[in-house]
Amino acid sequence: MEISPLQKARYSYQPKLPGILCSSITAIEAEYGSPMESQCDQSAIAADFPCTYPLRSVRFKLGRNDLAQKTFTVAVILSGGQAPGGHNVIAGLFDACKKANPANRLLGFLGGPSGLVDGAYIEITSDLIDSYRNSGGFDIIGSGRTKLETTEQFEKVTKVCSENGVNSIVIIGGDDSNTNAAVLAEYFRANKIAINVVGCPKTIDGDLKNEAIEASFGFDTASKTYSELIGNIERDANSAKKYWHFIRLMGRSASHIALECALETQPSICLIGEEVEARNMSISDIADYVASIVALRGNNGENFGVCLVPEGLIEFVPQFKALILAINDVLAANEAAFNALESLDQKRSFVSAKLEGINAEAFNSLPAFVQAQLVSDRDPHGNVQVSKIETEKLIIDMVETKLKAMKKAGAYNGKFSALSHFFGYEGRCAFPSNFDADYCYSLGYNAFLLLANGLTGYISSVKNLKAPAASWIAGGIPITSMMNMEMRNGALKPVIKKALVELDGKPFKHFAAMRQAWAEKTSFTYPGAIQYWGPSEVCDRTTITLALEH
């Protein structure tokens, strides 16, 4: 198979590791900290995880271990949506396995968690992993969104592991996937099954983070990929001077990508879902805000601009948040009847008839295309598939109506011609940036050391990420320490708490201080493509979000 020059060159890139992980693998040992409780719902989480809560934090230091005398067969799965760098997590895991003992084996289970249940796998070999190093995508073994939550599934996983000599499992995924890892670890520990489970923090959304998990992998690459595209559109807008571009950005339930892209590109408008919720803004309030800036620029002769819209914005609008919860309840209570309906029109009518009061009013006031998107199939975790809700088109329609009224009242004398875009899948499988290539490799290498130290129910943690890689700190934290109780499919369940944009955090405060100036006068910046070679300040730089946070 012929490959591009860039692809060939990236295969040979040697990722950087934290200083401690550059030591001989048999000269690294675990140092334990204090037990870590969750920030909330401690009693409920303790009840659900009696064997793995609370656990102590871990940090690696120089010391001694007996890894050379142990043999590991490690199962690895990729779970959830793709994120740049997943292949490097597997590469780091593979290299650590083989450095500890060449007899160790790494089995890649196919298609995500379902591969682990069904026993579908391939063995990761040196030749195989070498053809995927530093590349985007999850195609080495594929991914999936199967929930691991039933005793029947756990028994099948146990049988598959027993038949193949698997004594360790690494689950690479986001908040729901790492919740799977914690539940599986608890099951094994409770049933005295000698299999340890460790997770790795993946999601381009950026909402899987805390003090020990400073960034989820893929966020860096995805936000830079989107920023390049936004910068290209800004340059076109500034050249043509006749279009408003409304760009919806992937990010599901948090606005981190939209905020980072705004910091990178300085658009005319960027909406932040967390602020919308905090200010109790209705969808009409949002349209008023956008229309006011369009009018301001239009009255100054600038009938163009760029508006960034986070994918999950609609979930932050209080009236829609309540509506989505009500729809979730309707679907959970009437699952069989709803699933028997064939057309979207039938599903819309069914939901409309079941809703009451202000929720029925809100649903019936929406355009048919938004109603259809709200009742579309949920993902396997019960979440609304917000990527299917074209919020940017709804805002364009409402802004157009408001501008016509403003023009009639003499408050607006410009022209409004809008184009809509959705940037999502373009960023999920890009060649990882140097940062993500290094970070992901370190997460995988570190995950093996957690397993090798007999740890289970942990997530791989590499922090101090603003510093050069040699100064990164490697270790792990218990997954249960990141949890809270949330309503899922009509019942309270323990899940990893999402990290939302903090309105009192430095990234948002910096954006808030600059946005009016960006709105009044065209201030676009053009980040350009991700760079892999060149000065460190260009090719190894972190996101602006991470730089401001730390």
| Structural contact between residues 205 and 219, judged by C-beta atoms closer than 8 angstroms | yes
**Would you list the DSSP string of 189-250?**
HHTT---EEEEEEB-TT--S--SS----BTHHHHHHHHHHHHHHHHHHHHHH---EEEEEE-
Distance, first Cα to last Cα, the chain: 43
Residue 373 is predicted with a pLDDT of 83
Cα(434)–Cα(445) distance, rounded to whole angstroms? 16
Instruction: Give the tokens for residue 339.
Output: 């699933």
Helices (H) and strands (E) in the chain, counts: 23, 16
* Calpha distance 273→500 (Å, rounded): 9
Task: Give the start-end residues of each E strand in 80-178.
Answer: 105-109, 121-123, 143-144, 168-173
Asked if residue 199 lies in contact with residue 177, where contact means CB atoms within 8 angstroms, the answer is: yes
Please tell me the distance from the alpha carbon of residue 530 to that of residue 527, in angstroms, as a whole number. 8
pLDDT value for 490: 72
Query: Two tokens at 43?
Result: 């009693």
CA distances from 185 to 110, 169, 449 (A): 20, 9, 17
- Determine the Cα–Cα distance for residues 414 and 268; give it in Å rounded to an integer: 16
Which domains are present in the chain? 16-218+432-496 (3.40.50.450), 226-424+504-549 (3.40.50.460)
pLDDT averaged over consecutive 10-residue blocks of the chain (550 residues)? 87 96 94 95 96 97 88 97 97 97 97 97 98 96 93 97 98 95 97 98 96 96 98 98 97 93 98 97 95 98 98 90 87 88 90 92 86 77 70 95 96 97 95 98 98 97 96 98 88 93 98 98 97 94 95
**For residues 323 and 362, is the Cβ–Cβ distance under 8 A?**
yes
* CB-CB contact of 270 with 288 (8 Å): no
pLDDT of residue 378: 67
Which member of 205, 207, 220, 436 is catalytic? 205
What are the structure tokens assigned to 70, written together? 């142990």
Residue 120: CB atoms within 10 Å: 15
Q: How many CB atoms lie within 10 A of CB 368?
A: 10
Of 305, 273, 159, 155, whose CA–CA distance to 205 is shortest? 273
Instruction: Please say whether the beta carbons of 244 and 522 come within 8 A.
Output: no
Q: What is the largest CA-CA distance in the chain?
A: 82
The residue assigned the tokens 């929406």 is 366
Check residue 1 and give its pLDDT.
65
Q: Residue 192 pairs with which residues in a beta bridge?
A: none
Burial class (CB in 10 A: 0-12, 13-18, 19+), 127: exposed
Whether pTM exceeds 0.85: yes
Which run of H or E residues covers position 363? helix 357-364
Name residue 59's beta-bridge partners: 31, 475
Query: What contacts 478, CB < 8 A, 6 or more positions away?
Result: 36, 52, 53, 54, 55, 56, 57, 457, 458, 459
494 CB-near residues (< 8 Å, 6+ apart): 41, 44, 45, 48, 49, 179, 182, 480, 483, 484, 485
205 in catalytic set: yes
The three-class DSSP label of residue 534 is: coil
Backbone angles phi and psi of 23, in degrees to 5? -70, 165
Q: What share of the chain is helix, strand, coil (3-state, %, to 5)?
A: 50, 15, 35
